Structure 1
Amino acid sequence: MTYDWDLMLRLLREAQKPGNEAFAPRQYADEHAMAMEEAGKPMPNMDSLKAEAQNYESLLFEGGFIVTRPEEEGGNGENFVLTERGVRLRDMLEGDATYRQRLDEKGEAVLVPEVFDGVAAS
């Protein structure tokens, strides 16, 4: 299994936005699907995409890629900021395709902190 890195990147970018808006992975999945359609790509199954986005939120949080935004930065318990690990993942996903290939080679385990940190360091 490989991750939908474009959707993952969208979630990471949304997490880094300032403000006190609640993090809304299902909404971001909708917007991601619309962008795909506008780019001429087939429209994905929306229920699956929304569930995937919510799962990614959990994986990113549990893996230490995002943390709850501090109150002094507009945190409300429902929004996030990127950690150093999250910034590294975002940068890899924004980089050339070889980074995504290296991530894909590790399969689902790539978002386990120790596995990701090893990939990011190499």
Structure 2
Amino acid sequence: MTYDWDLIERLLLEAQASANQPYKPRIYAEEVAEEHLREGEPVPGGIDHFKRVGGDLEGVLFYGGFIEPRPEELGGTGRNFILTERGARLLSYISQGFPQHETFRRWLDEKGEAALEGEVFDEVAARLEQQRPG
């Protein structure tokens, strides 16, 4: 199994921007699925499945140490998040504006579901950092 990195990028961006509003991963997933369809890309399992995956990814990102509850003084509502340092690194490396994002996504895909386990991600990120021009 591999992850939909466009969806994860969107979930991380929304967590980053969720001050004073609830985090809605199923809605974001539906929007990403619709974008895929407009671009002629497949949506395995259909939109409803993609929405479930979006909801599940909230837990994966939380337990992997990529997001954490947003503090009240930063707009926390008890139902939203901020990125951790690990989450900010993931967002940076998978963002389409990052020159090596396709390589990094491929390396993460090679790890399968384990790619979003914190320690596994850290190993892959270290590999990328070693190969970046200094």
Percent identity, aligned pairs only, is 53
Alignment of 1:1-122 (within 5 A): 1-44=1-44, 45-94=46-95, 95=98, 96-122=101-127
Which of structure 1's runs of 4+ aligned residues deviate more than 3 A? none
SS in structure 1 at match of 2:77: coil
What root-mean-square deviation, in Å, do the aligned CA atoms of Structure 1 and Structure 2 show?
A: 1.3
SS in structure 1 at match of 2:62: helix
Compute the TM-score of the two structures, normalised by the length of structure 2. 0.85
Q: Deviations over 1:64-106 (max 9, x none)?
A: 1000000001101100000000011111111331010111111
The change in CA–CA distance for 1:28 and 1:71 in structure 2 (over 3 A counts) is: same
The separation in 1 between residues aligned to 2:43 and 2:67, in whole angstroms, is 28
**Which 10-residue stretch deviates more, 102-111 or 38-47?**
38-47
Compute the TM-score of the two structures, normalised by the length of structure 1. 0.93
Q: Deviations over 1:3-60 (max 9, x none)?
A: 1111111100100015211000111011112222222334551121011001110000
